[in-house]
Structure 1
């Protein structure tokens, strides 16, 4: 991750940048308040002044990371935006695995992550547009849940692969399969129609195998793994 601490002007920005760099370098290991302050060139009271405590800083870092891949505007082509959003989501996870784990590792039963919910709300807006055009095959909220579950699942799975071996074609195949399950065919265009059943089944089978091998290490809850496995099983036999 490129050093950005020197370029940050304010103490708050230096703390955010320092925490971001240390989290990225730590790859999931704990990062101390002292290490963050030392890197930012400030004392602990400065951190407390801006963020209240270390957790407040961590929350701000998550938002800092999320803001780097949530687009500010759309192109007017809803399906193209959905595809681009999926691909950006995966790319962000691969480029910033520590951030991504932090973003999607904060979910607890009955308590949705308020930070990742920002992206999900934007996704819902796009799907509601399609629904208004009569092009959605299910309720927008249901479609959003399916897309998010698959998008997060494939990203975590690709992150778990040895560095440099992530197969983005697998992600694209799953993307088209999921979109085809919630969006009417005419809206998908040639990209969706061109996916052969054999390619889809092969990609689904590969992901199902990888998901089973990863088990609890896949980064998904038991329910999420079961749901994704069920979808993939249906695709394999299609």
Structure 2
């Protein structure tokens, strides 16, 4: 029975996703989706609760597609270049799938985080932690992630809202480079690297290290990382 329910749920999501991309969110009434999926409206409510539940499930489905594309980006030897490629892929996804993107990153009321916010941040942190470990970040990874997501979603939503004939790719490129110039250094820690840069690099290295290889007790490691984060500011 669970397998049948899972298959039905997947079928409904695929039908709803097709409707969403073809006609937009306004076309996603529960009756329309149920009819297109060949099930009763009551069955749709059992699967998703209500329209908000269906939209939340669609946002997760959309983000799965986004992650599948992101994971095709093999890390290069340059974490800052990886940040550029990640930015471009993010913007391209939004322009190819505008209805999905609005569902993923939009919010219907103040104070409500977009459905994809946490997962997007965790994915971005993997790039930024590598950049910090290489001594390429000027600010802590958490702050860099917040600034990057704010910038890239703002650019993407702005481009989605413009007629295709008015979309200038230079907008994305200039914003990307302005942000990277603000967040990163040109190379890894040099002999005269700032204290903040060295502190960020060591903190990122400790974050990704196997605890068994760190010759400190957990409480000492936590204290050291707290000091490093203070030095990084």
Q: In the alignment, is residue 169 of structure 1 matched against residue 170 of structure 2?
A: yes
Task: Tell me the residue number matched to 1:179.
Answer: 180
Match of 2:38 in 1: 41
Q: 2:52 is matched with which residue?
A: 55
Rg: which structure is higher?
2
Larger relative contact order (CA 8 Å, sep ≥ 6): 2
- Equivalent in the alignment of 1:116: 117
Q: Distance in 2 between matches of 1:30 and 1:40?
A: 14
Can you give the 5+ residue segments of structure 1 that lack an aligned partner in the other structure?
1-8, 188-238
Separation in 2, partners of 1:29, 1:48:
18
Question: 1-side partners of 2:145 and 2:42: how far apart?
Answer: 42
Unaligned stretches of 5+ residues in structure 2 = 1-5, 189-233
Alpha-carbon distance in structure 1 between the residues aligned to 2:25 and 2:115: 21
The answer to whether the 8 Å contact 2:104/2:115 transfers is no
Distance 2:75 2:164 in 1: 35
- Per the TM alignment, residue 86 of structure 1 is displaced from its structure 2 partner at its CA by 0.8
| RMSD, aligned α-carbons | 2.2
Instruction: Give yes or no for contact 1:94–1:158 (8 Å, CA) kept in 2.
Output: yes
Higher normalized helix content (fraction of residues): 2
1:148 paired with 2:145, answer no
Alpha-carbon offset, residue 81 of structure 1? 2.5
Q: Report the Cα offset of residue 83 of structure 1.
A: 1.4
Q: TM-score, normalised by structure 1?
A: 0.68
Count of aligned residue pairs for this structure pair: 179
CA offsets 1:149-187 (integer angstroms, 9 cap, x no match) = 110111111112112442222211211111111011126
SS of corresponding position for 1:185: coil
Give the 3-state SS of the residue equivalent to 1:145 in structure 2.
helix
Residue 27 of structure 1 contacts residue 97 of structure 1 at CA under 8 Å; is this kept in 2? no
Asked if residue 72 in structure 1 is aligned to residue 68 in structure 2, the reply is: no
What's the CA shift string for 1:64-114, capped at 9, x where partnerless?
111222223652322232212211111111111112111221275444334
Q: 1:198 aligns to what?
A: none
Give the Cα separation in 2 of the matches to 1:33 and 1:68: 23
